[in-house]
Structure formats: C-alpha cells, structure tokens
A and B are shown apart, each in its own frame.
Chain A
Amino acid sequence: MDLNHAPHVEAFRAEARDWLAAHVPATPLPSLETREGFAAHREWEALLHSARWAVVSWPEEYGGRGVDIEHWLVFEEEYWAAGAPGRVSQNGINLLAPTLFDHATDEQRARVLPSMASGETIWAQAWSEPESGSDLASLKSRAVRTEGGWLLSGQKTWSSRAAFADRAFGIFRTDPDAPKPHQGLTYLMFDLHAPGVTVRPIGRLDGKPAFAELFLDEVFVPDADVIGEPGQGWRIAMSTTGNERGLTLRAPGRFLAAADRLVDLWRSHGDPADTALRDRVADAVVGARAYQLFTWANASRFASGETIGAESSLNKVFWSQYDIALHESALDLLGPDAELADGEWAEPWIFSLAGPIYAGTNEIQRDIIAERLLGLPKGRR
C-alpha cells in the first residue's frame, strides 16, 4: 500500500505545473455556455493541444502523451489547482473518444481524434430523447438505410454543448422490429450543420444555453460514421456511459481545488462562532480527500488489470452529492453576496445542481449499487 508517486510522475507534475503557471489566463474566461465564452474556450483548447496537454492519456499519434491513468490524475490535480478553464471539449474527450478507442476503425480514429484534441471540432452528446431519459433503451429516433449510409429522423434533447458545437454522437433505432428495446440500435456520429438538422438551444436554470434540442429530418450520415456494427449500438454506448460515471468524468483534482477555495473563503468570510458552517467546510475537505483516495484505489485496480464495473455508480452518486454540498457551503459563507449572479460561486453552484440528474440519475445509480454490488433482487423501477 503506497501513496507516493514515482520520480518520473513527479517530474511530469512539475512540467505540467510550470506550463500551467505560465499559460492559464489571468482573468477567467467568459462562461463556456455562451457564444463568446465557447469561442474563448475553444482557443484555450488549441493552446493546450499545442503543448500536448489536451489529451495526455491518448497515444502520441493522436496528440496525446501516451501516459497512464496515474499521470492523468496528477495532471488533473495541477490543472484545477492552477485555476485553468473548464473543458469545452470534455464530451468528446471523455465520452466519444473512449468509444472510438474501443470500437472504431483506424480510419475513424485518424479522422476524428486529432481535431477533437485540438478543439477544432467540438462534440455534443445526443443520447436523451423527450420520452427516453433513464429508460434510454426506449428511444425512438431512427436511422433508415439509404444508399451509402443512413437517414436520421427524430428528436434528441438535453444535448450538452449542442447549442454551439460542431458535431454530435448518439444511438439511433435501425431495426424497429428487434425483439427487445435495446436491440436494433446503432451508434453513429453526425454533423450538426448538415441539411435537415435544427438545433434549438435550451436555457439552463441560469438562462445560459448549456444544452439543446435537436430536430432531425432525414439527415444523411455516411457509412463511414457508423461506429462498430449496426445493431450493436447499445453495447457500445454502455461502455461509454460506464466511462462517464467512472474514472474520467470528474477528476478528483477538480474537487480538491474547489475545497481549497472553500477553505480560503472560510478564512476570509467565516464566522468563528458558526461552528455548524465550519463543520461543513471540514466535511468538504474530508470529502475531496475521500474522493481522491477512492479514485486512486480504483486506478490501482485498473493498473493491476481489474475492471471497474458497477463501482462507478458509487463514484457518480458521491461526487454529484459532494459537489452540491460544497457549493451550498460556499453560498452560505458569502451571505448576502451569494445572491449575485456574477459571483465566483454562482455558476459553479448552478452547474453542480445537474449532477444528480445527468449521467444516469442518482436513483438509477442507487438501483445499480443495490442490485449489482449488494445482490438485492431486481424490483420495479
């Protein structure tokens, strides 16, 4: 049992820290959920990529450094500690890229990954539909065979980043007669600017268009943009959602940095007599450390060749609840200033509120934990 990084990992940390110290914008970029912020974040992605920090765990041929998960976790600690901007390309990097590495052709990887790494192509996810949220397998949007490809029709919703993104990925029903709802689905990529696509931005709670509805009317997708075999979409998508909940969606570095900022806020705004709030600050410090250590233990299992399965549901419930509690404590410390919409903690608080809803609601995650980790019987959802 060991928590020390090898010297070459610490050297990597130092290199990342130095670069970030020299390049992180002195003033925060505008919100990435606005048009100007989206553009500014895209430029930041290009700068990261130019120094090969955009996708450190990818192979070098696609713009990465080919390092393991330990390096990635260390990089994320430095990234967030440096106050670097949120990652506008995270949907592509965290959700689509792992799918491409596992299921795509060499041609697809060579075509898609480099522009994803550079921020030139920003990807939106197109999973949910108006009637298909937690019950994703019930989705109705279809892809119909045509010469050289497929025609997409239907409606997707809650597509994160889709208001300003370039392309999207999702699953579509290609065999409506399949015996079970999760059969007959196909995973594919499409252009958000293609003929037949209408993007209707949806304002988040704070009004910023963080997601969108997509109306698809016979949108052509070439065969080259189908990932894996037609009909295998569900299996392929499930490997992606596992990634989403598991190790890659929320790096502990993000919460360690947030807990540090909360302690600073306590130093400057805390009332020593308010022991209840002081205790919540302590809980935030402990929670960030717990999440970091839990992740290191999982990363160690990964490195020993084990896979992380339903355990990723523990991860997801933990960080999403933690995120809200931490930001609520910050708002309580700010007192009357917490109400100001342009405050430093306002948008992160709004962002945290979605955590228990997306990436599989926490109710669904608790069912998975109970059934797969505790062996309780399947019940009616």
Chain B
Amino acid sequence: MRFLPTEEQSDFARTLHGLLAASDVPAAVRAWGAGDHTPGRAVWARLADTGLFALAADEAHGGLGLMPPELAGGFVELGRAGVPGPVVETAAAAVLLTRLGDEALAKRFLPGLVAGETSATLTLPGGGPYALDADAATHLFTVSPAGELRLASAAGPLRTSLDPARRLALPDGGGELLATGPAVTAAARDAAHWARLLTAAQCLGTGEALLARTVEYAKQRTQFGTAIGGFQAVKHRLADTLLGLEFARPLLWAAALSLAPGEVAAAKLTAGEAAYAAAMTALQLHGAVGYTEELDLSLWLRKARPLRDAWGSPSQCRAAVLQERLRAP
C-alpha cells in the first residue's frame, strides 16, 4: 500500500496546473458569463490536448481507458483555475457512452469528445433537473428515470446560476432516442458517480484557490499597523479552512480508487462543505472588497456554493453514506 499519488499522477496534475496558470482563465470565465464562449473553448482545446477527456473513454474510441484517480487529480486543477463550462458533464457523458457498450453510439460521439472537438452536457436520474451550459455544449444528452437515453434537440429558456459562468436549461424531454433499457440505467448510474466524484475534485481545487488567495491577502492587508494575518482570530479561521480541505483530499483519492457510492458521496460531501467554508472565510477576511464582482476572487466565491450542491447536495450525500452503511452486515 502506498496511499499517495504516483509520480505520473502528480506530473499530470502539474502539467494541467502550468497550462491553466498560463491561460488567463479569469478572462475566459468573464467572457463565458457574458455569452462569449471563444476564450473558454480555447482553454478547453488545450486541456483536451493533455489527454484529459481521454481518461474518461475506452481505448477503442481514442480514450485511455477509464482512469478515475488521474481524472480526479486533473479536475482538482480545473477547480483551482476556475475553468468554465460543462467539463464534468463532458467527462460523465464519455463515461456513459463507454459503459453503455453500444458500438455505433460510441463511434458517433466519443472520438469528438475525447479530442476536445465537441463537448457535452447531460441530465441523469438522481442528478439535478437542469443541464449545465446547454447553450455552449455541442450535445445535450438526457437519461430518463425509465432508462431512455436521448439526444435532446431543445433545452428551453436559459436560466442564470448564482455563478454567472454557469447557465442552466431545463430539457424538454424530447429529442432523438439513442438507446433504452437496463443497460442505459446502469451506465447512467456509473456516469452519475463519476460526475459526483469530479465535482468533488473541482470543489477541492476551488477551496484551495480561495484559501491561497485569502492567505496572500491576509499577509499583505494591514490594519492597526500590522498585517491582519498576524491576528489570532484571522489565523484560526484560516487554519480551520485548511483543516477542512486537507481532510477532504484523502476521501477524494479513496473515492477515485473505488468509485463505491458511499465513498464518492463522502468525498463530495466533505469537499463541497470545505470549499463553501473556504468561500465564507475568503469573503469575511477580504472584507468589503471581497463582496464585489470586480475582484477576481468573485469567480471562485460564486462557484463554491453551486458546486457544493451540484451532482449531490450535502443532504443527498449524507443519505447515500448512511444507506450504504446500514446495508452493510
């Protein structure tokens, strides 16, 4: 047993980190929120070049096989950078198509998703009703509770999220029927677990970005003639924020290793709550300037809450944890 990322896993995360640091992601987020997807798509294309989406698809269709630990490590970096768009949904769609085992459908959609030429958004049983970024995604998939996989043609009017970089649409239930039956239901269940796992990873990265920015601010901002980071009340709040994030990380790793529903729910619960707590700490310690949209901090501040609730709210995750435990002998 060596419960630490391998050199390869760390290298991959470092590659993404460097790429995103050089990509002016904040400008892409602001453009995305204003309806201009071009800079975001450019970031997307660079991400795909690293093989990111290939980690969620099988080798026969251009993927690298399903590699959740590698993908989760990568999604921590997407959260840290605040990458906009349906990244989780695109990966989940690739998982769904891989797991479904329908050769024609896999051939039709997977190569484009893996290469970053196309993107996808989707709704799944057990997930929320809204499809994220349906206006920007190439494909909108829906899976009904009865196990019908459809390629939706229309998504209804767009609603804006509390995070302006997220746009939500309610699929109308129609569209081309791609597949149906228990295989769809099973593949959709797997895809939903992946979506939950990768959202947890994004939460962790989001929380770490919020903490890092707030620590830097607390070192520089002076009041009463001293850096506010020297005050015990400030230090203790930041220490608690770090504590929350540090104990979420190994849960994320374990969830990526097993993809067991209880483990994934535990990771999502903990990372989501830690990220939201980091946002509240960042807001308080930045003071009034943190309560503006002008500061780039707002890009992460507004993401923390929607990510905490997407693909499994804390309450749903707690229920999943306990359900698994109560089923155990």
Question: Pick the contact of B1 from A281, A290, A296, A367 — CB < 8 Å?
Answer: A296
B251/A289 in contact, CB under 8 A: yes
Shortest Cβ distance from B234 into chain A, in angstroms? 8
Give Cα distance in the complex from A289 to B240, angstroms: 19
Q: Any chain A CB within 8 A of the CB of B269?
A: yes
The 5 lowest CB-CB distance pairs between A and B, nearest first, are A293-B250, A370-B235, A379-B230, A282-B318, A369-B239
Tell me how many residues of B have a C-beta within 8 Å of chain A: 48
Shortest Cβ distance from B141 into chain A, in angstroms? 30
Give Cα distance in the complex from A363 to B258, angstroms: 36
Q: Which residues of A contact B322 (CB under 8 A)?
A: 263, 266, 278, 281-282, 285
- Name the segment of A37-45, A119-127, A297-305 touching the other chain: A297-305
A379/B326 in contact, CB under 8 A: no
Task: List A1-53 residues whose CB lies under 8 Å from chain B.
Answer: 1-6, 9
Question: Pick the contact of A293 from B69, B238, B254 — CB < 8 Å?
Answer: B254
Give Cα distance in the complex from A2 to B4, angstroms: 7
Q: Which residues of B contact A6 (CB under 8 A)?
A: 1
Q: Any chain B CB within 8 A of the CB of A225?
A: no
A367/B266 in contact, CB under 8 A: no
Task: List B214-257 residues whose CB lies under 8 Å from chain A.
Answer: 215, 218-219, 226-227, 229-232, 234-236, 238-240, 242-243, 246-251, 253-254, 256-257
Q: Any chain B CB within 8 A of the CB of A166?
A: no
A375/B219 in contact, CB under 8 A: yes
| Pairs across A and B, CB under 8 Å, 29 listed | A1-B257, A3-B1, A6-B1, A9-B1, A275-B315, A279-B315, A281-B322, A285-B321, A289-B251, A290-B250, A293-B253, A296-B1, A297-B249, A297-B253, A301-B4, A304-B2, A317-B240, A318-B243, A363-B232, A363-B236, A366-B235, A370-B236, A374-B235, A374-B242, A376-B218, A377-B219, A377-B226, A377-B230, A380-B232
Q: Any chain B CB within 8 A of the CB of A223?
A: no
Q: Any chain B CB within 8 A of the CB of A150?
A: no
Question: Pick the contact of A290 from B211, B229, B234, B251 — CB < 8 Å?
Answer: B251
Residues of A contacting B: mostly: helix
Question: Pick the contact of A286 from B230, B251, B256, B326 — CB < 8 Å?
Answer: B251
Residues of B contacting A: mostly: helix
Contacts known (A293-B251, A376-B219); A286 close to B235, Cβ less than 8 A: no
Tell me how many residues of A have a C-beta within 8 Å of chain B: 50
Give Cα distance in the complex from A254 to B177, angstroms: 52
- The number of residue pairs between A and B whose CB atoms lie closer than 8 Å in the complex comes to 149
Report B44-84 CB contacts with A as 1/0, cut-off 8 Å.
00000000000000000000000001000000000000000
Shortest Cβ distance from A292 into chain B, in angstroms? 8
Given contacts A3-B254, A304-B2, A314-B243, 16 further A-B contacts (CB under 8 A): A1-B4, A6-B1, A263-B322, A263-B326, A281-B322, A290-B247, A293-B253, A300-B3, A314-B246, A366-B239, A369-B239, A370-B235, A371-B235, A376-B215, A378-B230, A379-B230
Contacts known (A3-B257, A376-B218, A377-B229); A282 close to B321, Cβ less than 8 A: yes
Q: Any chain A CB within 8 A of the CB of B319?
A: yes
Give Cα distance in the complex from A301 to B4, angstroms: 8
Closest to B319 in A: A282
Give Cα distance in the complex from A381 to B263, angstroms: 40
Q: Any chain B CB within 8 A of the CB of A267?
A: yes
Give Cα distance in the complex from A330 to B239, angstroms: 28
Task: List A120-157 residues whose CB lies under 8 Å from chain B.
Answer: none
Task: List A341-381 residues whose CB lies under 8 Å from chain B.
Answer: 363, 365-367, 369-371, 373-381
Q: Any chain B CB within 8 A of the CB of A328?
A: no
Q: Which residues of A contact B219 (CB under 8 A)?
A: 375-377
B270/A294 in contact, CB under 8 A: no
Shortest Cβ distance from B151 into chain A, in angstroms? 36
A290/B230 in contact, CB under 8 A: no
Closest to B218 in A: A376
Q: Which residues of B contact A290 (CB under 8 A)?
A: 247-248, 250-251, 266, 270
B1/A375 in contact, CB under 8 A: no
Give Cα distance in the complex from A133 to B70, angstroms: 46
Q: Any chain A CB within 8 A of the CB of B5?
A: yes
Shortest Cβ distance from B36 into chain A, in angstroms? 37
Q: Which residues of A contact B270 (CB under 8 A)?
A: 286, 290
Report B300-327 CB contacts with A as 1/0, cut-off 8 Å.
0000000000000001001101100110
B3/A369 in contact, CB under 8 A: no
Shortest Cβ distance from A367 into chain B, in angstroms? 6
Q: Which residues of B contact A374 (CB under 8 A)?
A: 211, 215, 235, 238-239, 242
Closest to A362 in B: B236
A373/B266 in contact, CB under 8 A: no
Shortest Cβ distance from A189 into chain B, in angstroms? 35
With most chain B CB atoms within 10 A of its CB, the pick from A263, A281, A286, A373 is: A286
A294/B246 in contact, CB under 8 A: yes
